[in-house]
Structure 1
């Protein structure tokens, strides 16, 4: 999925836009630039492809030529006044989504004022424009590329361009990582969708994110169980991490296989690696968020009774003398212990932990939409794939229980 979306009118600036697209592709690569002439496949729904590309982009470049503002249809109506005009829809959707919109003036065009634009595009008039002049095209396009790299952290395998001596902010990998994590937390579908480039580096990053989240999540789990120091001293910490990590990776892989089958059953041609990339981000974020909530919840209980977590763990495991035989009876006793300890600071911590879990659940639900956006599927097809996946996983679980019993 692209980082840079090019919005333009074909009768106004097709040549200049094509030239700009070639320059951007030369520096950033074709997978990072959306130019409808080259980016929409034959037979693909044009409007749906445009909307999906905007939702997944980092920045929208609105190319403005001499006739951009006053372009009219066959009836003499100004195109910008038509609610169904594609250029109007593209910019309005980007502004509504909170995406940065960068006007690019070509062929001597001037930036329109708010009074000249429809009300829905009024904010567009306040966007700072850049100019690409014919006499210094290479210099101006280099400055634009440097701006895209420095301000919006768009990656390129080419060395950074610093056409402007004052433009020295080119983010190193820690800076890009921080921005990616921030966007993953706030706009997960946008970042995950842009990682669907097919490049090996994007899959390696997703896998690394998953492994780090699992390791952190397992560590937080041990801290909440008051078992971290015990395992470190006994030397079993690494063994626990390996065992838990392999088990969690198996679960993520199993869900990915079920999702691949489900999406293919609903008629979408998806690859297993596309599914695993999305699942790596969703699984890693969900595990880490759940572990943070668990740590807050358990620390709150420890403030009330430092031995509670340990006693509850022993009771659930059936290692307490005189403990009930059935797991459900032991769980009831643990629940009574927790309820009795949930006073004062412990109650506040448990409320905060509940909010963390609710936020993690909401984030996971939003991030799950990455499947629909990345594959360009309808909501009905996405819902069908999710239900089929749940059915397949349920069948596997039932079969496992039957074989174990």
Structure 2
């Protein structure tokens, strides 16, 4: 792939900065930028003053007006590269209200937060640049946007290796696929996501992992990693049915209760049913997994098998996995409602797809960066909220003799 062409004006400016400052380190570059930011801010503020008064500073009309320029006031502002001292123009009657750096505002680094927020929402670099220009009156290059969002990489590394809770009551796992460019070709990559429900009823994304395929071996590595990061116990694991995943999870967490996602089983079975019978078929299924008791579930399943015997492929999906349906009735209704589906983590992947649909990513870091920024937005929305009927679910676990001691250990 050929080297992308930069704006000649940007290259010329960069060469002049290097020639003038002779930077030898990143810190030298930051100091050079600080020196440049000051004159940039001052020039823009002078332009605002010209507009406010209606004429340039060297215009003779200045002497013919009551309100005129009245020198400068010193101000120190905080930028992304550190504090910068600037001179703010003043007018005689004090009516000048700067828009770039309003009075009493000393932090102008917020533009970085805005760029990162837009990037996290899946906006392209072109759209971000255009939006910044509309708001602030100046443009930012693609390289600058990339540099700003790269600030998230050290935080991403810390987040990926952070210590985890000792116990998660419910864990949901799933994979989604997206595209990464690799030199002259594009490849599909699997994004592995684990969502956990803490003992307090809060949602937490335990991590994000990339691999070229989804496999039980990768899942085992991931479970081994989260155990090394502090997870001692998981009560329930909801999965979509990847071959070998159940055995792999039990190899790391022997006491884990693995639940096949009922929604995935429905999807797998309706593939064998003509569209004209979808509605009636799924209605019959709801009587099975939505029954009030195990006995009612088993009775409804016998009726289901007889009613839909004309579609043996669809019925066989449920015969092979009926133990996962029966297992639901070992627990109270509030627990069943949480564990029966992986929709909670699929909802996260739906949110991820909104920010990955803009096209292929140039490398793994670029993909992980945008996904991590999206995770931060999701976690901000979840903050302070709890899983619906969480207290009822915990009470149902506490009265279960098989789980009571494990629950008491971590609450």
User: Which TM-score applies when normalising by structure 2?
Assistant: 0.26
Larger fraction in strand: 2
Q: Which has the larger radius of gyration?
A: 2
- Higher fraction of helix: 1
TM-score (normalizing by structure 1)? 0.27
